[in-house]
Structure 1
Amino acid sequence: MQKTVLYESHRQSGARMVDFGGWEMPLHYGSQIEEHHAVRRDAGMFDVSHMCAVDLDGPDARPFLRRLLANNIDKLQLPGKALYSAMLNEGGGVLDDLIVYYLDETHYRIVVNAGTAIKDLAWMSARLADWRMAAAITPRRAGADALAMIAVQGPQARQRLWQVLPDCRSACEPLKPFFACIAADYFIARTGYTGEDGYEITLPAKRATDLWNALAQAGVRPSGLGARDTLRLEAGMNLYGQDMDETVSPLDAGLAWTVDLVSPRDFVGKAALLARPQQHRFCGLLLLDRGVLRSHQQVLTPHGTGEVTSGSFSPTMQKSIALARLPLAVALGDTIQVAIRDKLLAARVVKPCFVRNGSVLV
């Protein structure tokens, strides 16, 4: 398995390591629940160096992204602004969900998922060649120019980072959500995957261990994949490979807000989406009976069957919650049934966002 530059730090901290898409990553450092609560109540940090930062440079960078992505890259006009988008295949299925940062007209940074990085790079390179556009795609995960990524999340995350990197405070403190800046060797984005405030810091890999250790000494708690998953589920954020994949339309995965079908701009997969409008409703489920919701469980409704795509026990709410793909006629507030082992348990259909910024919304 591949290892991030922080692998030894994880082992020295007693992390339980697991295989995550071919990467040996920390599941937890002793208590997934405590790590979850640390992010909701204070500050935690995640090694996300397995994700792949890709630099796109050249005069055709914007025209390329305009044609490649379902969301409209022309929304990015201010330096540092970020855009979340799906990248689709010709059939309208989701190849990956990613974030693009606009630096200037000829320079963009794209962050793609770890498990899809090789496939994504091949797809982007092939489209670049097919369309004969002048741009260069440079992955930054290996070699002398390798980058690492650390996410610092929680209500005290920004203060803790300023404590460790005081010289960067003037650059990153004014950032609005979904904006990034460059401060010294750091690319600091006010983004995250937990439903809490904080930063995602991209930096030279050789400096990652020092920053990780300094953050830990400042009281930021190392947190693993287990807490990251329950946090993102509470926040109603999709996970690639569970809530969507190459066979699923973004319209059926709760991502219609990231798809621009209004402008005359064409993009890969647009014709397929127009030919096959939304078929399912993507909702949250709150279990009313005792049990635990898990992915692939069947959902029974008066309008037909659906499926749980992601499910777990919510440490914040102390209830079982899930994301699910359901028949279009299902409405918020409906009570449906989920097949769990040999029982049918009741659940309520809710908006697919359970907790944000420490507050329970359901």
Structure 2
Amino acid sequence: MKRTPLYQAHLDSKGKMVDFGGWEMPLNYGSQLEEHHQVRNDAGMFDVSHMSVVDFSGAEAKAFLRILIANDVDKLQTQGKALYSCMLNEAGGVVDDLIVYYEDDENYRMVINAGTTHKDMAWINAQAQGFAVVVTLMSDLAMIAVQGPNAREKVFAAMGGVEQVAGALKPFNAASLGALFIARTGYTGEDGFEIMLPASSAEFTWKMLLEAGVKPCGLGARDTLRLEAGMSLYGSEMSESVSPLEAALNWTVDLSDESRGFVGREALEKLTPEKTIVGLVLEGKGVIRDHNQVLTNLGEGEVTSGTFSPTMGKAIALASVPKGSEGLCEIEMRGKRVSAKIVKPPFVRNGKILV
């Protein structure tokens, strides 16, 4: 299995290591529940160095990205501004979801998912044929996500000089400080930063954050936090056979420029989605699991991501159901049908319960 530059730091903090898509990663450091609440109430940090950073440079970098992804990078006019989108195949299915950051019209940075890096890079390089663009996989970088209501002030306390460049950053913007790239983004529904830095600096930075009172958190808490925040997971809410229109990601698709023929556009324009993603909150006791059958007022669906919400004290889920489903539904759980309420995600954002 592959290891991140922070592998030893995880062992030092007694991380329970598991196989995560071929990477040896910490599931938790003792209590997943405590780690979840740590992020909601204070500040926690995640090693996300298994994710891949890809840089695009060249005279046609912008033109290339305008056809590679479904959202339009032409919206990015300010240095450091970020955009969430999906890369689509010709059938309109999602090759991967990603964030792209703007440096200037000839330089962009993209963060893609860990488990899809090999196929993503093959896809990107195939699409790049004929464009004056250089695609570089930045394999010498590590990434640490620091998240929570106190995340920013603890990052500033731990990392000298960072506040000068990142103190005024608005959400979904990034700034550089030497080899550091600091983005005010995350996957938890809380404020904070995702910090990209040289692999050689990762362990020292992790220790400085520990000393500033940031607690390490594992994959378990990361998943319950992202699900409470109503954030999609590649391979669950979307896939190569599921379009962004069926994954409630319509807002990541920009069709306003009719001349922009991005990959998958033609298929999307012909698609009439019959399903969408909704939130579910269980009425009674139990835990909703992935792939549980859902019975709505308009027909059958399926749970795409299910868990117990530590913040709400209830079972919650995201589910693919017939478009227009509303009100109460039933979930097939262990041979029994249990009542649940259909809601609009997110469930929790910035520590507040929203449903």
TM-score of the aligned structures, taking structure 2 as reference length: 0.99
How far, CA to CA, are the matches of 2:138 and 2:276 in structure 1?
37
Deviation at 1:260, TM superposition (A): 1.0
Consecutive unaligned residues of structure 2, counting only runs of 5 or more, are none
SS class of match (1:251) = coil
- Matching of residue 148 in structure 1 with residue 142 in structure 2: yes
Partner residue of 1:162? 156
- Residue pairs, 1:115-154, within 5 angstroms: 115-129=115-129, 132-141=130-139, 146-154=140-148
Contact 2:53/2:111 (CA < 8 Å) preserved in 1? yes
**1:268-283 correspondence runs (5 A):** 268-283=263-278
Tell me, yes or no, if structure 1 residue 206 matches structure 2 residue 200: yes
Pairing 1:44–2:44 present: yes
Q: Counterpart in 2 of 1:262?
A: 256
1:40 deviates by 0.3
Alignment partner, residue 89 of structure 2: 89
Residue 8 (1) aligns with residue 2 (2): no
The answer to whether the 8 A contact 1:282-1:352 is kept is no
Pairing 1:234–2:232 present: no
Quote how far apart the aligned CAs of 1:168 are. Answer: 1.5
Q: How does 1:1-362 map to 2 (within 5 A)?
A: 1-129=1-129, 132-141=130-139, 146-264=140-258, 265-331=260-326, 334-362=327-355
Q: Secondary structure at the match of 2:245?
A: helix
| Offset, 1:281 | 2.2
Deviations 1:267-324 (A, max 9, x none): 1011111111222121100000211111111101231100110010000000000001
The percentage of counterpart residues that share the same residue type is 58
CA shift, 1:261, in A, is 2.0
Contact 2:158 2:211 in 1 (8 A): no
What is the DSSP-based 3-state SS (H/G/I as helix, E as strand, rest coil) of the residue aligned with 2:294?
strand
* 8 Å contact from structure 1 (residues 252, 279) kept in 2: yes
Distance 1:109 1:184 in 2: 15
Structure 1 unaligned spans of 5+: none
SS in 2 for 1:119: helix
Q: 1:229-250: per-residue Cα shift (whole Å, max 9, x none)?
A: 0000000000111111101011
Any idea what SS the aligned residue of 2:114 has?
coil
| Conserved 8 A contact 1:281-1:330 | no
Tell me how far apart the structure 1 counterparts of residues 3 and 159 of structure 2 sit (CA, whole Å). Answer: 26
Contact 2:275/2:323 (<8 A) preserved: yes
Paired residues of 1:286 and 1:349 also in contact (CA < 8 A) = yes
Aligned residues: CA RMSD: 0.7
TM-score (norm 1): 0.97
Give the Cα separation in 1 of the matches to 2:10 and 2:274: 43
Deviation at 1:170, TM superposition (A): 1.1
1:46 is displaced (CA, Å) by 0.2
Contact 2:237–2:277 (CA under 8 A) maintained in structure 1 = no
SS of the residue aligned with 1:200? strand
How many equivalent residue pairs? 354
Where do 4+ consecutive residues of structure 1 move more than 3 Å?
none
> Does the 8 Å CA contact 2:284/2:339 hold for their aligned counterparts?
yes
CA separation in 1, counterparts of 2:160 and 2:136?
Answer: 30
Alignment partner of 2:345: what SS? coil
SS at match of 1:176: coil
